[in-house]
Amino acid sequence: MMKTYLKSTSEAVAPFPKDLLLWNYWDHEHVVGTHFEHYKKVKIIRENEKECLSERTAKLPLVPFYITEQTLAKLESPNKMLVYHSTLFNLVKVKQVFDFEEIDKNNCRVTRSDFLEIPYFLKFLQKLFDIIMKKWFVAVWAEDMPMRERRYKVWKLGFKDFKGIDYVNDEKVNSNSYQRHPERDYKLELPVPKITNIKKEGSFRLFKKSKHLGYSK
Ligand SMILES: [Fe+2]
């Protein structure tokens, strides 16, 4: 059967360094917390400094039940990542291309292009696909903003991965270097360090609703 694609492109600018935005996309543990309405489990199958294969249990737009999908993320270049999703025995395949355009040190434009592989007769769904994917982009973007903001704030205070300040942890580090360089560059380091057992058993959403954890409307 002849195949084609439904396509959609979304973009937005965020007031953060490019690598911090990339970190957000490569941090898989937050998916079941920050995006708790859409995901209930994420497990990392394998990862290295260029790619990550994970398994996600998600509720996708217009699908009324949870499905498990495999997600392969690849860092193509310092400014581009590709994400391949597949589910339902590889019958449903989506490719996403993320472009990160550094406007300046503290501002970055993210453009996401989505491609859903379909048989040709479903081409009439193009408009609907575009509407859903744009809506999805805006919703997820808004959910991610507070953690990006928080991470950048503590980064500027001198922290790294919430493990304290280098010159406080290590007496050999010169504290003056921090005062002279309060605007240190944010650099992406993959794989992102983990605090849960996401690699062995997966990271779960523990509660359906919890005001204390922010799992509530
Ligand atoms: Fe996110």
Average pLDDT over residues 169-194: 78
| Three-state DSSP class for residue 191 | coil
- CA-to-CA distance for 105 and 186, rounded, in angstroms? 9
For residues 37 and 216, the model is more confident at 37
Q: What is the pLDDT of residue 165?
A: 74
Q: Which CATH class is domain 3-169+176-200?
A: alpha beta
Q: What does the block give as tokens for 96?
A: 């996403």
Please tell me the distance between residue 118's alpha carbon and the centre of ligand 1 in angstroms: 26
What is the 8-class DSSP label of residue 215? B
Reply yes or no on whether the pLDDT at 131 is more than 60.
Answer: yes
Q: Is 90 exposed, middle or buried (0-12, 13-18, 19+ CB in 10 A)?
A: exposed
Alpha helix segments (H runs only) across 35-172: 126-156, 166-169
How wide is the angle at C-alpha 105 spanned by C-alphas 100 and 106, nearest 5°? Answer: 85
- Of the candidates 188, 189, 203, the one whose C-alpha atom is nearest the C-alpha of residue 44 is 203
Under the banding of pLDDT at 50, 70 and 90, the label for residue 91 is confident
Q: Where are the domains of the chain?
A: 3-169+176-200
Give the Å distance between the CA of 131 and the centre of ligand 1. Answer: 20
**Cα of 34 to ligand 1 centre, how many Å?**
7
What's the 83 CA to ligand 1 centre distance in angstroms? Answer: 14
pLDDT score recorded for residue 59 = 87
For the segment 198-215, the average pLDDT, to the nearest whole number, is 72
Interval between CA 1 and ligand 1 midpoint (Å): 35
pLDDT (tens digit per residue) in 17-32: 999 999 999 999 999 9
Q: Given this model, what pLDDT does residue 215 score?
A: 61
